Chain A
Amino acid sequence: MLNTMFVFTSKAKILAVSLTLVGLIMLLIGFNTSIAQNSDQSHAEVSHAGDSHAGDSHGGHEDHGVANRPWSAFLVNTIFFLGIGLGTLFFLAIQYAAQAGWSAGILRVMEAVSLFVIVPILGLLFLAITGSMHQHHIWHWMQEGIMDPLSSNYDSLIAGKEAYLNAPFFILRTIIYLIIWGGAAYLFRRNSLREDRLPSGQNLFFTQRKLGAVFIVLYAVTSSTSAWDFIMSIDAHWFSTLFGWYTFAGMFVTSLTVLNLLVIYLRIGGYLPWVNSNHQHDLGKFMFAFSVFWTYLWFSQYMLIWYSNIPEETPYYLARFGEYKLLFITMVVLNFIMPILVLMSRDAKRIAGFIGLAAVFVLAGHWMDHYIMIMPGSVGYNYGFGWVEIGGFLFYAGIFIYIVLHNLSSAPLLMKNHAMIHESKLFHQ
């Protein structure tokens, strides 16, 4: 067992820290430019007062587009990275609940990624609190007076949802997600490390299985509600019963892709000698299958709305087939056609190069998918791709690399007493 300890080199540390710093600086630049632009715009609005606002039927929605832009871009990156951590945490829970044998050799990699989930939830908490303090209105329903019948901002449809969509409950839910998701990631890791120190690991194996089963049930509820909270409530008039699953599918395929890349990275570095191309093949199958699953849900949501063609549902897609058409179509091609063509054959799933190629398409595609879910409702036509979008990505990517590699290096890559380690080593197809 020469290579069971991962070494977090100082080169990688410098890379991670500098990515975070560069990202942070870009974010600050982006936020400052946005504030400057916004004050210009409000001067312009004052001079036009009376004529441009008279026919504003959007309830002040579009006006906030420019001001919302950096915050929305930050939300896009937060959700994208939340998906990586959360999807991996769910995958880890499935491995335990299903008593999976093949994956036992890569559970430590999953643990390392799932612990990262806490960072993007803190990001969401930050956005929720700043939103409720009216620093931004990504979530349209947070605007002042929108629930107040006497206000000019009043929106009776949104006021009807006040019992669920109100700032204190919203922040409370975010904290509940932090406790459930972060807590589960912490417990999985703690038990797994404790198991290493025991002479035999059977009891903790069953504890982990129970934990996995309980987490899956809690996740089934929280994955849906969190998707409504952070993404669907941006378009507060609109709703889709499929939305939770749709968001989950996107997050899950993103996390499986990242897991594939991490395993390939570790294997290239000479770690994980007990993981062979059979394990890689199974990970590739998951990535392929959930790309198709995502497309299935994407299309199911789209087709029902297209077919029934009723006014309360279609605006969502009108926006996406208007300003965002090119991105929207590109995103579907990247998320469906590319992985299907690259990964369909059996041999392709066993070759790191093909997995890597498909991973680039899938990651780019799902970043764009989250962008298209969030941007049209919060900034309208004021979207773009600049400081804040790239900066937010680099900021999170740096933290992600640091935390994941740190977690990998802080415990042996192979569990000592896990009940399925032997089965995982013998796994073949």
Chain B
Amino acid sequence: MAHTDSSPLIRAIYTDDDVVLSAVKTLREKGMKIKEVYSPFPIHGLDKALGLKETRIAMAAFIYGLFGLTVAITLTAYTMNFDWPQNIGGKPSMTWGMNMPAFVPILFELTVFFAAHLMVWTFMIINGLYPGAKEQNPDPRTTDDHFMIEVHAVKGAVDVLKASGAKEISEA
């Protein structure tokens, strides 16, 4: 995450997602800075408990969708009406407007295609998940059945983590 604090980290392993969620709440109440939480699956309500900023991916998706729609209109108009006008099924094909109903599936598909693909790529790049990116997961068990909370070390942190239900605590 965006913390630039370079103080040493403490890693606590948990074995239950509900415990992680309540631990995150208590740690934040005690004023500890959480660097990252690792989990094998999305935990419902964790983003709110961590106080993360609201995502702007929805706005991006809308703009990508509009872009896809524009591409589709340009594509159909250029190929079917301008470059090589085609008369298919006896439809009056000289203007884009009169042909529009036939193009609606294309408009729809390309809008969805651009919105979905560009949204995924944006998500990947923002989160540093592009091919060849260095792996950031400190413990492979968090991809299976364990959870980890990384906090910036402060005095008494270990006790608080233990009290919150951590099974293992290590300092890095």
Chain A residues within 8 Å of B, Cβ to Cβ: 299, 302-303, 306-307, 309, 344-346, 428
Q: Which of B12-49 contact A (CB under 8 A)?
A: 44-45
CB <8 Å contact, B102 and A307: yes
Flag whether B1 is at the interface (Cβ < 8 A). Answer: no
Out of B45, B58, B90, B104, name the residue touching A309 (CB < 8 Å).
B90
Cα distance, A307 to B44, chains bound together (Å): 47
Residues in chain A near residue B91, CB distance under 8 A: 307, 309
CB <8 Å contact, A345 and B101: no
**Nearest CB of B to A295, in Å:** 10
**Nearest CB of B to A264, in Å:** 23
8 sample A-B contacts, Cβ–Cβ < 8 Å, listed by A number: A299-B101, A299-B104, A302-B101, A307-B91, A307-B102, A309-B91, A346-B58, A428-B44
The 8 A-B pairs with the shortest beta carbon distances in the complex, nearest first, are: A303-B101, A306-B101, A299-B104, A346-B58, A307-B89, A307-B102, A428-B45, A345-B58
CB <8 Å contact, A344 and B102: no
**Nearest CB of A to B14, in Å:** 21
CB <8 Å contact, A309 and B89: yes
**Nearest CB of A to B165, in Å:** 21
Residues in chain A near residue B104, CB distance under 8 A: 299, 303
Residues in chain A near residue B58, CB distance under 8 A: 345-346
**Nearest CB of B to A394, in Å:** 37
Q: Which residue of B lies closest to A302 (CB)?
A: B101
**Nearest CB of B to A312, in Å:** 17
**Nearest CB of B to A274, in Å:** 18
Residues in chain B near residue A346, CB distance under 8 A: 58
Cα distance, A299 to B102, chains bound together (Å): 11
**Nearest CB of A to B130, in Å:** 27
Chain B residues within 8 Å of A, Cβ to Cβ: 44-45, 58, 62, 89-91, 101-102, 104
Cα distance, A201 to B85, chains bound together (Å): 68
Residues in chain B near residue A303, CB distance under 8 A: 101-102, 104
Cα distance, A346 to B104, chains bound together (Å): 26
**Nearest CB of B to A217, in Å:** 32
- Given A306-B101, A307-B101, A307-B102, list of 14 further CB < 8 A pairs? A299-B101, A299-B104, A302-B101, A303-B101, A303-B102, A303-B104, A307-B89, A307-B91, A309-B89, A309-B90, A309-B91, A345-B58, A346-B58, A428-B44
Residues in chain B near residue A299, CB distance under 8 A: 101, 104
Residues in chain B near residue A309, CB distance under 8 A: 89-91
**Nearest CB of A to B89, in Å:** 6
Cα distance, A401 to B62, chains bound together (Å): 39
Q: Which residue of B lies closest to A305 (CB)?
A: B101
Residues in chain A near residue B102, CB distance under 8 A: 303, 307
**Nearest CB of A to B134, in Å:** 33
Cα distance, A309 to B104, chains bound together (Å): 17
**Nearest CB of A to B40, in Å:** 21
Cα distance, A303 to B89, chains bound together (Å): 13
**Nearest CB of A to B119, in Å:** 14
Residues in chain A near residue B45, CB distance under 8 A: 428
Q: Quick one: which of B45, B58, B101 has the most chain A CB within 10 A?
A: B101
Residues in chain B near residue A306, CB distance under 8 A: 101
Residues in chain B near residue A428, CB distance under 8 A: 44-45
Cα distance, A389 to B28, chains bound together (Å): 61
Cα distance, A270 to B70, chains bound together (Å): 46
Cα distance, A18 to B101, chains bound together (Å): 46
**Nearest CB of A to B1, in Å:** 22
**Nearest CB of A to B147, in Å:** 20
**Nearest CB of A to B75, in Å:** 19
Residues in chain A near residue B89, CB distance under 8 A: 307, 309
Residues in chain B near residue A307, CB distance under 8 A: 89, 91, 101-102
CB <8 Å contact, A344 and B101: no
Cα distance, A428 to B43, chains bound together (Å): 13
**Nearest CB of B to A350, in Å:** 13
Q: Which residue of A lies closest to B65 (CB)?
A: A344
**Nearest CB of B to A12, in Å:** 39
**Nearest CB of B to A28, in Å:** 44
Cα distance, A324 to B89, chains bound together (Å): 27
Residues in chain A near residue B62, CB distance under 8 A: 344
Residues in chain B near residue A344, CB distance under 8 A: 62
**Nearest CB of A to B10, in Å:** 30
Cα distance, A344 to B45, chains bound together (Å): 22
Q: Which residue of A lies closest to B62 (CB)?
A: A344
Cα distance, A344 to B65, chains bound together (Å): 13
Q: Which residue of B lies closest to A306 (CB)?
A: B101
Cα distance, A415 to B35, chains bound together (Å): 44
Cα distance, A346 to B102, chains bound together (Å): 31
**Nearest CB of A to B7, in Å:** 34
**Nearest CB of B to A282, in Å:** 15
Cα distance, A306 to B104, chains bound together (Å): 13
Q: Which residue of B lies closest to A296 (CB)?
A: B108
Cα distance, A279 to B89, chains bound together (Å): 48
Residues in chain A near residue B44, CB distance under 8 A: 428
Cα distance, A307 to B45, chains bound together (Å): 48
Cα distance, A13 to B111, chains bound together (Å): 49
Cα distance, A154 to B141, chains bound together (Å): 80
**Nearest CB of B to A106, in Å:** 22
**Nearest CB of A to B18, in Å:** 13
**Nearest CB of A to B24, in Å:** 16
Q: Which residue of B lies closest to A428 (CB)?
A: B45
Q: Which residue of A lies closest to B59 (CB)?
A: A345
